[in-house]
A and B are shown apart, each in its own frame.
Chain A
Amino acid sequence: MGTISKIHEMLVSGECSCAELTKSYLDEIEKANPELNAYVNVTPDEAMRAAQAVDKKLAAGEEIGMLEGVPMTLKDNLSTKGIETTCCSKILTGYKPIFDATVWEILKSRNAVMLGKTNMDEFAMGSSCETSYFGGAMNPVNTNHVAGGSSGGVSSAVGGNIAAYGLGSDTGGSIRQPASFCGVVGLKPTYGSVSRYGLIAYASSLDQIGPITKSVEDASIVFDAISAPDRRDSTCKGNVGGATYPTLDNDIKGMKIGIAREYLDGVRDDVREAVLEAAKVYEALGAEIVYFDLPILKFALPVYYIIACAEASSNLGRYDGIRYGYKTAHYNGTHDMICRTRSEGFGEEVKRRILLGTYVLSAGYYDAYYKKAQNLRGTIVKAFDRAFEQCDVILAPTVPMTAFEKGHAVSDPIETYLTDICTVPVNIAGLPGVSVPCGFNSKGMPIGMQLIGKSFGEAQILNAAYKYQQAAPDKFMDTKWGVRL
């Protein structure tokens, strides 16, 4: 049984009140957070208020929905009305949005209990959570290792049982990679299935919000709740593929699971073996494994960095020290004020990506980089279309390695970019992808596999993921931290 349904049952049966449950999560945050650094802002007053509202409903004998009263967290780039939202950047310190992100509006209307906001790489730019202005979030499996990024705080909190689930964002792997590192489930939905309204933008044509959870069932419940059309995000069509929960347990006999050989190149042996082992589990479940080539994937990573940085350089132009956030103390003239504010307010990696984005968009380089990358994006989209003529879902590693030790990622930007090699193609093509735990390396660090679906094919990948979880429950581990349900 998933964490969410378990909590739901506990609340409905009266095994504990929502206030008691919330209090135990808040207590465990206090104990675990100094080491995990998952939360950058804990909101006990809001959490207890929401919990009391649920208890009141229960006391009155009213029915409650599945997500009501379930203690959860939001990545700190999701706008929360009146609650500081910083993107873990100095430049947004003190910023309190005056509106809620659509996803939070939906969950709040269902009486979700938000425990606080979680850590991330600054503006979601990073793969280890260490570019956070507040320092990185640590891995609950082994705190000498990073939680991954950019949604490292959500993954650390969920893996560490100090949130039942959380919402992150994924631009090039920021939900799936930390989920893989922390041994939890992370779903990056199809571009356009979840509203991005209120998500502080990094790269708007790639960004997507999705759940990080302990189980596939939980990811399905949260995805079904948050995927709805929204007139405030014109790219959002909602859950075109239909609810995912009813078909989770469908038989997958005859399902064609594709493996693109390129995804297995250059990944560590233990990761490759774990993924191929999972393929065997699928064969035993009656699925058919189909191998094919996807040579265009070798260009995915540079295409991603060019497009993402170009969009970021434009999106981050709004931080000027005038309307919100940090402003420099000493300056001479408005140009000087804006340059100083940005230079002091942004961290090193953010500045590097703004500069790269400005470079590839500037006269003389636009055609060679940005335009070329956009054209290749079209080629990648079509290559996936053709791949899905041969299979129903694609199985791949989530990350070529397991969680690195702290401090490792900071030293070499290009090497760090390479960790995103298996996750970025999904964002480029706008497809859904879910990372599911599928094993451990020799040091006990979790390995994740990725199931990639057709556009709006969340039901199919979650069905495949759920069947795997049923068949290989030993790959889903627990950690020593947090609340015992």
Chain B
Amino acid sequence: MVTREDVENIALLSKLFVPEEELDSLTQSMQEIINFADEINKADADEEGFDNINNLSNVFHEDEVVESYPVEEILKNAPEQAEDHFLVRNRE
């Protein structure tokens, strides 16, 4: 059973605000999706486990220093920047 409190808690973990007026409809919609997801609990218990697909294995590289992207290029996409840093203000 998904409750309003569950949705509020999950939203907080997800760093999303849910407006008070949308809370009931979102709770209901989450409940419907969870009911749908609950289908999997009807499967037999003897699942076979899963670790990776197509026998992929870890790839190791030598720890080489390679050229990276220029700081000013990376900062161009930031909403705010100061000198060579991303800028995060506590207040607007």
Contact = CB atoms under 8 A, between A and B. Distances in A.
B54 A302 contact: no
Contacts of B78: 322-324
Interface in B7-60: 7, 10-11, 13-18, 26, 29-30, 32-34, 36-43, 47-51, 53-54, 56, 58-59
B30 A378 contact: no
B56 A302 contact: no
A93 B22 CA distance: 26
Contacts, number: 158
What is the predominant secondary structure among interface residues of chain A facing chain B? helix
Contacts of B73: 98
B54 A355 contact: no
Given A305-B33, A376-B43, 8 more contacts: A324-B77, A330-B92, A342-B14, A362-B13, A369-B40, A376-B40, A417-B36, A456-B54
Interface stretch (A53-61, A175-183, A277-285, A331-339): A331-339
Provide the main secondary structure of the chain B interface.
loop
Contacts of B47: 372, 375-376, 378-379
A343 B17 contact: yes
B86 A322 contact: yes
A144 B92 CA distance: 45
A429 B38 CA distance: 21
Given A340-B17, A375-B49, A356 B92 contact: no
Interface stretch (A8-16, A128-136, A220-228, A230-238): A230-238
Contact of B36 (A321, A375, A378, A414): A414
A425 B32 CA distance: 22
Interface of A: 94-96, 98-99, 190-192, 205, 231, 234-235, 237, 296, 298-299, 301-303, 305-306, 313, 317, 320-327, 329-335, 337-340, 342-343, 346, 351-352, 354-356, 358-360, 362, 368-369, 372-379, 381-382, 413-414, 417, 429-430, 455-456
B15 to A, nearest CB: 5
B22 to A, nearest CB: 9
A356 B36 CA distance: 12
Nearest to A335: B15
B40 A373 contact: yes
A356 B53 contact: no
Contacts of B26: 352, 355
